[in-house]
């Protein structure tokens, strides 16, 4: 066969595969949105669920998902950045760093149900944190942290070495170089990593059932005292997230409109992830531009 024919066939196959993937994803997304959109209303987004009557909403669950995301990121981002920067810039290559890297990889491939049971045992019972947002955030940290560490490490490693040299030659300290020369360059990749790990927080159910719990106390959205048990901001209260709620009503929902609620909640979840994704990218781009004086991320 002529080289040109081969080339055409190969291009054709690759394009077909790409279109196939896009079609599957678009179909999936379209199906979820199509089934759920009709059920989404302001009332659905803000009201509490109903046990046996129709017309319940997902307000507390939506709030719980967002709050859990904030808590998890508060734990994951500083730890992940710190460990990733250590691995990339400070650790000497050797057995210990190799070992850390191995552990990080094993951790990130843990089945989430195992993480959930481990969380139930250690965080909920032994540490005595009970079914709570904090327990859920800690459990999510178990598999989000490795991702964050790896992505941070790679982001810093991919900054050209000459940037560091230029900093040293100007008489900058290593800390100054890491924070002001390398970090801005590594930022876009770190933001991508944060978004990826955030996606897992929204979507995770198995690990949260046994840690954050499957119920939500009656929340009083006018009480913002984080220590009060009925306050939405109390991190030590149980909190059913959107993903857990979808699983629950799908498997044991008693309300007559359980199917519609599940569909609506799924659409809400997908839209929330989408909004978070776009918002994070937008904010990241603003910061990147501010730090590097450039017009776009590269």
Partner 1 sequence: MEATLTAPHVLQEAMVEKNFRTENLSIFYGTYEAVKGISLPFPEKTVTALIGPSGCGKSTFLRSLNRMNDEISGSTTKGSIWIDGVDINASGTDVIKLRQKIGMVWQKPNPFYKSIYDNIAFGPRYHGVKGKKALDEIVESSLRRAALWDEVKDRLKDSALALSGGQQQRLCIARALSVNPQILLLDEPASALDPVSTGKIEELIKELKEELRIVIVTHNMQQAARISDYTAYFYLGQLIEYGLTEKVFTNPENSMTQEYIMGRFG
Nearer to partner 1, 164 or 237 (CB): 164
Please count the helices (runs of H) and the strands (runs of E) in the chain. 12, 0
Give residues in contact with partner 1 (CB under 8 A). 92, 160, 162-173, 176, 180-181, 184-185, 291-295
Closest CA to 221 of 56, 73, 46: 46
- Give the angle subtended at the CA of 117 by the CAs of 116 and 123, to the nearest 5°: 80
| Contact in structure between 276 and 62 (CB atoms under 8 Å) | no
Q: How far is the CB of 296 from partner 1 (least distance, A)?
A: 10
Q: How far is the CB of 86 from partner 1 (least distance, A)?
A: 15
Closest CA to 148 of 65, 64, 74: 74
Q: How far is the CB of 285 from partner 1 (least distance, A)?
A: 14
Dihedral in degrees, nearest 10, Cα atoms 128, 134, 139, 143: -150
| Contact in structure between 135 and 211 (CB atoms under 8 Å) | yes
Q: How far is the CB of 159 from partner 1 (least distance, A)?
A: 9
List the end-to-end C-alpha distance of the chain, in Å, as a whole number.
40
| Contact in structure between 278 and 195 (CB atoms under 8 Å) | no
Q: How far is the CB of 93 from partner 1 (least distance, A)?
A: 8
Q: How far is the CB of 85 from partner 1 (least distance, A)?
A: 16
Contacts of residue 31, Cβ cutoff 8 Å, sequence gap at least 6: none
Nearer to partner 1, 173 or 228 (CB): 173
Q: How far is the CB of 211 from partner 1 (least distance, A)?
A: 40
């Amino acid at each position: 066969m002529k080289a040109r024919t081969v080339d055409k066939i190969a291009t054709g196959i690759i394009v077909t595969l790409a279109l196939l993937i896009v079609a599957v994803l678009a179909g999936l997304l379209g199906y979820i949105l199509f089934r759920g959109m009709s059920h989404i209303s302001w009332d659905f987004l803000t009201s509490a669920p109903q046990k046996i009557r129709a017309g319940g909403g997902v307000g507390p669950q939506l709030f719980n998902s967002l709050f859990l995301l904030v808590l998890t990121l508060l734990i994951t981002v500083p730890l992940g950045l710190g460990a990733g920067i250590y691995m990339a810039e400070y650790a000497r290559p050797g057995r210990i760093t190799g070992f850390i890297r191995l552990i990080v990889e094993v951790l990130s491939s843990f089945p989430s149900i195992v993480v959930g049971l481990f969380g139930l045992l250690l965080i909920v019972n032994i540490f005595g944190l009970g079914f709570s947002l904090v327990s859920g955030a800690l459990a999510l940290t178990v598999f989000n942290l490795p991702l964050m560490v790896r992505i941070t490490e790679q982001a810093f490693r991919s900054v050209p070495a000459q940037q560091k040299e230029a900093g040293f030659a100007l008489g900058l300290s290593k800390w100054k170089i890491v924070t002001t020369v390398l970090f801005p360059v590594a930022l876009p990749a770190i933001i991508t990593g944060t978004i990826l790990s955030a996606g897992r927080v929204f979507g995770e159910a198995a690990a949260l059932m046994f840690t954050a719990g499957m119920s939500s106390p009656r929340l009083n959205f006018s009480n913002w005292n984080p220590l009060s048990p009925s306050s939405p901001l109390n991190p030590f209260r149980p909190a059913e997230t959107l993903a857990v709620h979808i699983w629950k009503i799908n498997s044991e929902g008693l309300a007559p409109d359980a199917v519609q609620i599940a569909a609506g909640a799924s659409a809400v979840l997908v839209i929330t992830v989408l909004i978070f994704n776009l918002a994070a990218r937008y904010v990241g781009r603003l910061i990147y531009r501010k730090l590097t004086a450039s017009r776009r991320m590269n």
